[in-house]
């Protein structure tokens, strides 16, 4: 073969290689490749492991939301002055200079006749419709007829006409609790301490230095969801209140274990903030948890978690065949 023929053959091979390259590339433009997002989120760092059995974390301070039920009590219900004494009010009456064997010191209830009983040696004094100062003056004048130099102190302990607050209070859909004649207080989104402060400020408009106790009677707003795929017969969803200590094993025990429709393919879908653009999936190894007592995937559940139990594919196929062949 001549030198000219070799040159022509080499040129032809180069042309074929260029043609094959362009064919493989298609119409794609030669641009700088863009950085792609990872298909799966990176594994958590050792400094921030996912909470699981034997490595649980405490949940943050409880935030009140509808339809929680709060237990509210007020230790001292004393209306702001001027308060006019009514029947069955409880007064604290203390007198200095009484007879040694018959002291006057302690709570005294206003009777149905509007009088307070100071004891057999002192008799009764009418205080109905009086203010605290007027009642103190009336008692002093009465005792001056019996004692030489009495010193009288009167204070309100409890008003019979005051609205009783103690008891269970449902957080309503608008986020408030109803305190009767004292109005409503917005507590949604508040912690227990913040709700106590808000209720105390509301009652302080009507009562003298109220001491408020607030606790959660029923934790209804924080839940997780157990979703069981139904193998073609419809999914089952169970809403379970969370206590802050549940793991995957605890949750599945709530429904009596895995049914014959379920596979052992289980995962937790953890809600992410809107706009993040990724799913938070925690795969669960059921055999390791139950047979080997492994804690690696026995994760601690958090409020809002979806524990998903996938269907058994053969059972799903059986259901499908039954639907197709059933007359």
Distance CA 314, CA 203 (A): 63
Pick the closest to residue 68 from 219, 244, 192, 177 (CA basis).
219
Residue 44: per-residue pLDDT: 47
pLDDT tens digit string along 67-109? 999 999 998 777 888 889 999 999 999 999 998 889 999 999 9
For residues 182 and 176, the answer to whether their CB atoms sit within 8 Å is no
Tell me if residue 22 falls in helix, strand or coil: helix
Contact between residue 64 and residue 192 where contact means Cβ atoms under 8 Å apart: yes
Q: pLDDT tens digits, residue range 207-244?
A: 888 999 999 999 999 999 999 998 888 899 999 999 89
pLDDT digit string, tens, across residues 99-133? 888 999 999 999 999 999 999 999 999 999 999 99
238 touches 305 (CB < 8 A): no
- Are 73 and 178 found together in one domain? yes
Are 181 and 144 in the same domain? Answer: no
The answer to whether residues 194 and 73 belong to one domain is: yes
pLDDT of residue 208: 86
Mean pLDDT of 193-200: 97
- The verdict on residue 18 lying in a domain is no
The residue range of the domain holding 209 is 69-77+163-218
Asked whether residue 255 falls in the same domain as residue 321, the answer is yes
Whether 175 and 264 map to the same domain: the answer is no
Domain final residue, candidates 180, 196, 218:
218
- Same domain? For 203 and 280 the reply is no
- Our count of domains for the chain comes to 3
Output the pLDDT for position 147.
Answer: 92
Q: 167 with 232, same domain? A: no
Query: What is the per-residue pLDDT for 9?
Result: 53
Q: What is the CATH number of the domain that holds 239?
A: 3.10.560.10
**Model pLDDT, residue 137:** 96
Q: What is the pLDDT of residue 14?
A: 53
Structural domain includes residue 171: yes
Residue 54 lies in a domain: no
By the 8 A CB rule, do 226 and 254 touch?
A: yes
Do 282 and 197 fall into the same domain? Answer: no
pLDDT value of residue 38: 47
- Give the residue from 74, 68, 69, 71 showing the smallest Cα distance to 163: 74
Q: Is residue 100 part of a domain?
A: yes
Does residue 73 sit in the same domain as residue 208? yes
Band (pLDDT 50/70/90 cuts) for residue 315 is confident
Q: CATH number, domain at 103?
A: 3.30.1950.10
Give domain status of residue 42, yes or no.
no
Mean pLDDT to the nearest integer, 257-275: 90
For 290-312, the pLDDT digits (tens) are 999 999 999 999 999 999 999 99
Q: Are 273 and 322 in contact (CB under 8 A)?
A: no
In this structure, are 211 and 227 located in the same domain? no
Q: How far apart are CA 261 and CA 316, in angstroms?
A: 8
Query: What's the pLDDT at 21?
Result: 52
For residues 322-327, give the mean pLDDT. Answer: 78
pTM: 0.68
Are 129 and 98 part of one and the same domain?
yes
Q: Does residue 209 share a domain with residue 73? A: yes
The DSSP string of 259-319 is: -TTEEEEEEEEE---TT----EEEEEEHHHHHHS---SS-BBP-TT-EEEEEEPHHHHHHH
Task: Please give the pLDDT value at position 16.
Answer: 56
Encode pLDDT of 269-282 as tens digits: 999 877 776 788 99
- Asked whether the beta carbons of 214 and 70 are under 8 A apart, the reply is yes
Q: What is the pLDDT of residues 7-33, one digit of tens each?
A: 445 555 554 554 555 444 444 443 444
């Amino acid at each position: 073969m001549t030198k000219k023929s070799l040159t022509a053959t080499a040129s032809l091979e180069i042309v074929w290689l260029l043609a094959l390259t362009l064919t493989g590339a298609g119409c794609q433009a030669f641009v700088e490749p863009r950085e792609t997002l990872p298909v799966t989120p990176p594994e958590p760092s050792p400094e921030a492991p996912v909470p699981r059995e034997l490595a649980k974390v405490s949940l943050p301070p409880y935030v009140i939301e509808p339809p929680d039920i709060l237990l509210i009590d007020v230790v001292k219900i004393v209306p702001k002055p001027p308060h006019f004494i009514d029947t069955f009010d409880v007064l604290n009456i203390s007198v200095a200079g009484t007879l040694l064997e018959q002291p006057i010191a302690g709570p005294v209830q206003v009777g149905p006749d509007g009088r307070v009983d100071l004891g057999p040696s002192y008799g009764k004094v009418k205080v109905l419709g009086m203010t605290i100062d007027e009642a103190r003056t009336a008692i002093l004048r009465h005792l001056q007829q019996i004692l030489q130099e009495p010193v009288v102190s009167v204070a309100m302990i409890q008003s019979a006409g005051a609205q009783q607050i103690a008891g269970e209070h449902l957080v309503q859909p608008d986020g408030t609790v109803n305190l009767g004649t004292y109005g409503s207080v917005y507590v949604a989104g508040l912690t227990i301490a913040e709700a106590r402060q808000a209720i105390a400020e509301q009652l302080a408009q009507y009562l003298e230095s109220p001491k408020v106790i607030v606790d959660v009677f029923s934790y209804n707003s924080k839940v997780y969801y157990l979703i069981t795929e139904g193998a073609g017969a419809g999914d089952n969803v169970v809403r379970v209140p969370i206590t802050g200590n549940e793991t995957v094993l605890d949750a599945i025990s709530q429904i009596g274990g895995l049914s014959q429709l379920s596979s052992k393919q289980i995962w937790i879908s953890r809600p992410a903030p809107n706009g993040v653009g990724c799913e938070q999936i925690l795969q669960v190894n059921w055999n390791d948890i139950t047979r080997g007592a492994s804690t690696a995937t026995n994760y601690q559940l958090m409020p809002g978690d979806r524990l998903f139990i996938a269907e058994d594919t053969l059972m799903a196929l059986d259901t499908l065949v039954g639907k197709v062949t059933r007359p």
